[in-house]
Chain A
Amino acid sequence: MVTDQLKEEGISDTRVLGAMRQVPRHLFVPPGLRDLAYGPRPLPIGEGQTISQPYIVGFMTEILRLSPGDRVLEVGTGSGYQAAVAATIAAEVYTIEIVESLAAGAKRSLAALGFRNVHVRQGDGYYGWEDKAPFDAIIVTCAGGHIPPPLLRQLKNGGRMIMPVGGPFMTQNLVSIEKDGNGVVSARNVLPVAFVRLIGH
């Protein structure tokens, strides 16, 4: 997976590649789909949610430029896989899932794998995790097509945020938000390598 789907498609951050190699993705998908866990595809995890394909997870993590001391907020825990990848690199990951069963499942999976630096909470991620803010990086996977103002406030100056946009199973594009040293926020659509190749046509 790492060689075929990540390196070949342009992901080069050794921390990201290492984390993706280390985290057992198959333990975050339903038992019946484990054979497909490392394939280049998203998979259903129940409750109408999916686990993104490995490339998208790797690409989003790379965009965030995570460092070992970083504190990360994730909104939309889903299976917990993205949190696990981020937690392999960063110091602390705070992740919020609004659907109770998913939050509980992710908590179990992460605990079973010994991720003590991931903190899962069931709740409305729109308002962030105020008492643990500010964050160096924020991943938003469900935001009603906009960037919640409370999350922007909880992003450190110099922090990075990433938000995938698209329908179920299909990430159409990724929005990267950065807050500069003066607190000025900017957003841009960042493109996976394959998308970049395509827009040349």
Chain B
Amino acid sequence: MIPAVLLVSAAALADEIVLIRLLSVRFWPHFVPMIVSQAMLGFGAAGVAIQLSRRGLGTRPHRAFAWSVLLSAPAFDLAYRASLRVPFDPFLLMWEPSAWPAFALFFCLLSVPFFLAGFAVSVPLAFSLGQPGAVYGASFAGSAAGALLALPAFSLLPTESLLRVPSCLCLCAAVFVLRGRAGRLRVGRAAAFAAFLLVLALPPPGPSPSPYKDLAATQRLPGARTLAVRSGPSGDYRALLAPGIHIAPGLSLRFDGDMPPQAAVFADGESRGIVPEGGGKKPPAYLDYFPAALAYRLVPGPAVLQFGLRGSEGVLAAARGGAASVTVVEPAPEYAALVADDLCAFAGGWPASLRPEILAEGARNVLARETRRFDVIEIAGISSPTFSSVGIHATGETFLLTREGIGAAFQRLSERGVLSITGWIKVPPRESVKVLRTIRAHLEGAGFSPASSRVLVIRGWASFAIAARRRPFSREDIAQAERHCDTMGFEVVWPPPVAAPGREEPERKAFREAAAAAVAGPAGGWEDGLFDLRPVTDDSPYFHRFLKFRSLPEFRRILGSQWVPFVEWGVVFLLLSLAVSLLLAAAFLLLPLAFASHRTGTGGIPSALYFTALGLAYIVIELTFLKLGILVLGDAIRAAAAAIGGFAFFSGLGSALSGRWESVRAMKGRIFPGIALLATAGFFLLTLAAPHLLACGGSWRVGAFLAALAPPAFLMGMPFPAALSRLSRTVPSAIPFAIGVNGFFSVAGATLASVGALWAGFRGTLLAGVALYLLAGALFGRLDSGARAGR
């Protein structure tokens, strides 16, 4: 039994991490809170189900355990396949009423494997089928193993086959339950096992991106064919070629030539760059016709640092700009290999005159570690006209565009060096203004005043380029920018032209005035306005979140039916998923308890508050560590594996040992204050150490991250079993109520942690979690107060 518990636990955790990738490709990368909610719903529902059917299960718990393990095996694969058949797409939630039940069904289906796995792990504990310590130990060791196994699987398996990992783990678990207690092989179980083996023989479903994603749109083009596929922990990368691909966002109207055939490159289904055919042999001329070329006009023969490989276009544009060298920071080695190796023949290799150095690290890691200085540092495409333009990344962490990130980029500029930032102009202006304010805040904070003389802004018909540096731009620099604009049909926005502009289009005027106000307007007052355009920091690194809740009534009032484009889709989806997950959690966790309360009993207000606080606090602290882990570890998947696996492991250890400290005195005097102290200390120490850690190697960073979370996670494993143990002695019939309430708020907590990080920052969110633990500590001694026993 113990090996089965270990393997099922590993499968459940691996499934969580695999789903993060699969749903990133299918929809977008910010499904982490929803997946955690689904897991919490499944586990919580399993706990409630066991408690409500204790009498029935109690007669044959071994059998229940065996079948829950067996059924888990195909569930991971089949639930995902079934979810593909649900006509759910996040984009439709706003427009089609039928999308809501589809979303609920989608949510439930992906919770089923967690329900079965949770059932399999909880039955031995509920019915004392083995030594509780051994069961707990197997469960937490399995969770850690699941996290460890998932990461190499990303490199070894194609994206579509990733679900093999939890399925195979569970099939291995099933081997241990094929025999009955007497040791005889059970025919029914063996037959089921054989049937479930066939699931592995099914061809894996494709990545099935939403039809609204860039990848799906390109796949529909006549003659589209896939040139290369790579995948790894950082993402799923695909290159497609089709005669209908013509991508050049913001290309000058002065360009009248032909563009070569292009291969489009996608990361998790979103457009991530272009590889022009034969560009390495002869970089195409159209690459000169973008505002981004400004940096190369200002600094001849530069040493260039680029963030993110944009296919081969970034390197080719640098070659056309006369760069002396180019270093590209690309955290995904798979993406770099796809462009440099798989597309080498198509691309014509790299230009002979400019072979890029590609650094496979996170942007902030390179900036922290690098000692060289560069003449041009490029951050391209901070806003785009495509899929991303609708705010789906509003809930995504972007540590390069924080005050700290921009400051680190300035540190690596040479004396003549220029920081170049480009993007698509939004109406009203948003990214452009926010990044200009961030630059200004850094420059003036570092003593380079006024910032207005150190910034140049130009625009094309729909895109902008910002050049910023510590030394003021000279008249000759500005004249050079004006010549570039005259040639290309662009215009200088800042510094303002000497001659006052005549009659201007509203959009042009708005952009010019917004840029001028950001660079040279009165400092402060940045809290005003309909959008949140304040510079962001590492504590809340949501550069693409502009929504202010207090602006929503104003949007409705002034925009009527047009308001949707100004509300970031990522935030909308986060809130919608919170609503759906709460409804489902109420239906599966609270409603059954309400119906059964006459026989199960209920807790009183203190116990309701206690389990509410625990449900919220645990997940809030875990996810806040996870988000900080994205900065420290360099990407979301590694952070998810380390945080979810680490918390499961250390909390499991704490749960297993909780019996030693479950007295009221120990819990109130040591455990809860200890959680508050260690969570706060671990988080703040990690935050303080982050600037230094970023320069260290990956294993050091993982070690430091786990060291920071381990002590609080260990203690956080204790309050739940300690409270159940206490209830079991006083009002045992209130245990289902406790499990249900805890599960409900765990489901809510996953999304609330993200909402908190967006508006209150990591520190505020973590401290809210700590306060909830302190509240729970105050209630621990009154758990049975007001509880009502069932019949």
- By a beta-carbon cutoff of 8 Å, the part of chain A in contact with chain B is 5, 9, 33, 36, 40-44, 46-48, 53, 55, 98-100, 124, 126, 143-149, 152-153, 165-173, 175, 177, 185-192, 194-199, 201
B220-255 CB contacts (< 8 Å) to partner A: 220-222, 243-251, 253, 255
Q: B555: nearest residue on chain A (CB-CB)? A: A198
Neighbour of A145 across the interface among B95, B213, B248, B507, CB < 8 A: B248
In the bound complex, residues from chain A placing their C-beta under 8 Å from that of B390 are: 166-170, 172
Q: A147: nearest residue on chain B (CB-CB)? A: B253
B91 within 8 A of A: yes
Give the distance in Å from the alpha carbon of A2 to the alpha carbon of B392 in the complex: 32
Q: Can you list, as one digit per residue, whether each of B389-426 has a CB less than 8 Å from chain A (1) or not (0)?
A: 11010000000000000000000000000000000111
B446 within 8 A of A: no
Neighbour of B95 across the interface among A41, A55, A146, A195, CB < 8 A: A41
In the bound complex, residues from chain B placing their C-beta under 8 Å from that of A191 are: 427, 506-507
Q: Can you list, as one digit per residue, whether each of B352-385 has a CB less than 8 Å from chain A (1) or not (0)?
A: 0000000000000000000000000000000011
Neighbour of B220 across the interface among A48, A189, A190, A196, CB < 8 A: A48
Give the distance in Å from the alpha carbon of A113 to the alpha carbon of B298 in the complex: 58
Q: Can you list, as one digit per residue, whether each of B439-471 has a CB less than 8 Å from chain A (1) or not (0)?
A: 000000000000000000000011000000000
| A–B complex contacts, Cβ < 8 Å, 6 sampled | A33-B96, A40-B560, A145-B251, A169-B94, A170-B390, A187-B462
Q: Is the CB of B428 within 8 A of A199?
A: yes
Q: Is the CB of A152 within 8 A of B253?
A: yes
Q: Is the CB of B255 within 8 A of A145?
A: no
Given contacts A124-B243, A189-B507, whether A167 and B388 have CB atoms under 8 Å apart is yes
In the bound complex, residues from chain B placing their C-beta under 8 Å from that of A166 are: 385, 389-390, 565
Minimum C-beta distance from B100 to chain A (A) = 15
Q: Is the CB of B506 within 8 A of A199?
A: yes
Q: Is the CB of B427 within 8 A of A173?
A: yes
B346 within 8 A of A: no
Q: Is the CB of B249 within 8 A of A199?
A: no
Q: Is the CB of B564 within 8 A of A44?
A: no
Neighbour of B565 across the interface among A33, A41, A172, A199, CB < 8 A: A172
In the bound complex, residues from chain B placing their C-beta under 8 Å from that of A55 are: 561-562
Give the distance in Å from the alpha carbon of A185 to the alpha carbon of B309 in the complex: 33
Q: Is the CB of B212 within 8 A of A199?
A: no
In the bound complex, residues from chain B placing their C-beta under 8 Å from that of A198 are: 428, 530, 558-559, 566
Q: Is the CB of A189 within 8 A of B462?
A: yes
Q: Is the CB of A149 within 8 A of B257?
A: yes
B152 within 8 A of A: no
Q: B462: nearest residue on chain A (CB-CB)? A: A175
Q: A149: nearest residue on chain B (CB-CB)? A: B256
Q: A198: nearest residue on chain B (CB-CB)? A: B428
Give the distance in Å from the alpha carbon of A53 to the alpha carbon of B92 in the complex: 14
In the bound complex, residues from chain B placing their C-beta under 8 Å from that of A44 are: 92, 95-96
B521-540 CB contacts (< 8 Å) to partner A: 529-530
Give the distance in Å from the alpha carbon of A153 to the alpha carbon of B258 in the complex: 12
Given contacts A41-B95, A167-B389, A169-B91, whether A194 and B257 have CB atoms under 8 Å apart is no
B548-589 CB contacts (< 8 Å) to partner A: 554, 558-566, 569
Most chain A C-beta atoms within 10 Å of own C-beta, residue among B253, B256, B390: B253
Taking A33-B96, A148-B246, A168-B212 as known contacts, 20 extra A-B pairs with beta carbons closer than 8 A to each other, sorted by chain A number, are: A48-B210, A48-B211, A98-B221, A98-B244, A100-B222, A124-B243, A145-B384, A146-B248, A149-B257, A153-B256, A168-B390, A169-B94, A170-B565, A172-B426, A172-B565, A177-B253, A185-B253, A189-B425, A197-B559, A198-B558
Give the distance in Å from the alpha carbon of A168 to the alpha carbon of B564 in the complex: 12
Q: A192: nearest residue on chain B (CB-CB)? A: B562
Given contacts A42-B95, A175-B462, A189-B462, whether A98 and B428 have CB atoms under 8 Å apart is no
In the bound complex, residues from chain A placing their C-beta under 8 Å from that of B510 are: 199
Give the distance in Å from the alpha carbon of A187 to the alpha carbon of B251 in the complex: 12
Minimum C-beta distance from B406 to chain A (A) = 25
In the bound complex, residues from chain A placing their C-beta under 8 Å from that of B250 are: 145-146
In the bound complex, residues from chain B placing their C-beta under 8 Å from that of A40 are: 560-561
Give the distance in Å from the alpha carbon of A26 to the alpha carbon of B481 in the complex: 51
B476 within 8 A of A: no
Q: Is the CB of B562 within 8 A of A195?
A: yes
Give the distance in Å from the alpha carbon of A44 to the alpha carbon of B243 in the complex: 25
B217 within 8 A of A: yes
Q: Is the CB of B529 within 8 A of A201?
A: yes
Most chain B C-beta atoms within 10 Å of own C-beta, residue among A42, A173, A188, A190: A173
Minimum C-beta distance from B430 to chain A (A) = 11
Q: Is the CB of A144 within 8 A of B221?
A: no
B387 within 8 A of A: yes
Q: Is the CB of A48 within 8 A of B212?
A: yes
Give the distance in Å from the alpha carbon of A152 to the alpha carbon of B253 in the complex: 9
In the bound complex, residues from chain A placing their C-beta under 8 Å from that of B211 are: 46-48
B216 within 8 A of A: yes
Q: Is the CB of B462 within 8 A of A171?
A: no
Q: A41: nearest residue on chain B (CB-CB)? A: B95
Q: Is the CB of B246 within 8 A of A188?
A: no
Most chain A C-beta atoms within 10 Å of own C-beta, residue among B95, B221, B257, B508: B95
In the bound complex, residues from chain A placing their C-beta under 8 Å from that of B562 are: 9, 55, 192, 194-195
Q: Is the CB of A187 within 8 A of B461?
A: yes
Q: A54: nearest residue on chain B (CB-CB)? A: B561
B730 within 8 A of A: no
Give the distance in Å from the alpha carbon of A169 to the alpha carbon of B572 in the complex: 14
Q: Is the CB of A149 within 8 A of B255?
A: yes
Give the distance in Å from the alpha carbon of A168 to the alpha carbon of B427 in the complex: 17
Give the distance in Å from the alpha carbon of A196 to the alpha carbon of B504 in the complex: 13
Most chain B C-beta atoms within 10 Å of own C-beta, residue among A33, A171, A195: A195
Neighbour of A199 across the interface among B222, B248, B388, B507, CB < 8 A: B507
Give the distance in Å from the alpha carbon of A100 to the alpha carbon of B224 in the complex: 13
B386 within 8 A of A: yes
Q: Is the CB of A194 within 8 A of B558?
A: yes
Give the distance in Å from the alpha carbon of A146 to the alpha carbon of B262 in the complex: 14
In the bound complex, residues from chain A placing their C-beta under 8 Å from that of B554 are: 201
Q: Is the CB of B427 within 8 A of A48?
A: no
Q: B463: nearest residue on chain A (CB-CB)? A: A145
Q: B558: nearest residue on chain A (CB-CB)? A: A197
Q: Is the CB of A199 within 8 A of B253?
A: no
Q: A179: nearest residue on chain B (CB-CB)? A: B253
Q: Is the CB of B216 within 8 A of A48?
A: yes
Given contacts A145-B424, A188-B461, whether A168 and B253 have CB atoms under 8 Å apart is no
Minimum C-beta distance from A104 to chain B (A) = 13
Given contacts A145-B249, A166-B389, A199-B510, whether A43 and B462 have CB atoms under 8 Å apart is no
Q: Is the CB of A98 within 8 A of B222?
A: yes
Minimum C-beta distance from A191 to chain B (A) = 6
Give the distance in Å from the alpha carbon of A126 to the alpha carbon of B656 in the complex: 65
Minimum C-beta distance from A124 to chain B (A) = 5
Give the distance in Å from the alpha carbon of A152 to the alpha carbon of B256 in the complex: 9
Give the distance in Å from the alpha carbon of A132 to the alpha carbon of B559 in the complex: 40
Q: Is the CB of B565 within 8 A of A196?
A: no
Neighbour of B387 across the interface among A9, A167, A196, CB < 8 A: A167
Give the distance in Å from the alpha carbon of A165 to the alpha carbon of B562 in the complex: 15
Q: A102: nearest residue on chain B (CB-CB)? A: B220
Minimum C-beta distance from A162 to chain B (A) = 13
Minimum C-beta distance from B254 to chain A (A) = 9
Minimum C-beta distance from B213 to chain A (A) = 8
Neighbour of B427 across the interface among A143, A144, A199, CB < 8 A: A199
Q: A189: nearest residue on chain B (CB-CB)? A: B507
Give the distance in Å from the alpha carbon of A91 to the alpha carbon of B562 in the complex: 31
Minimum C-beta distance from A193 to chain B (A) = 8
Most chain B C-beta atoms within 10 Å of own C-beta, residue among A42, A43, A144: A144
Give the distance in Å from the alpha carbon of A126 to the alpha carbon of B262 in the complex: 13
In the bound complex, residues from chain A placing their C-beta under 8 Å from that of B561 are: 5, 40-41, 53, 55
Given contacts A169-B95, A195-B562, A201-B529, whether A147 and B246 have CB atoms under 8 Å apart is no
Q: Is the CB of A48 within 8 A of B217?
A: yes
Given contacts A166-B389, A195-B562, A201-B530, whether A47 and B220 have CB atoms under 8 Å apart is yes
Give the distance in Å from the alpha carbon of A126 to the alpha carbon of B506 in the complex: 29
Q: Is the CB of A146 within 8 A of B506?
A: no
Q: Is the CB of B560 within 8 A of A9?
A: yes
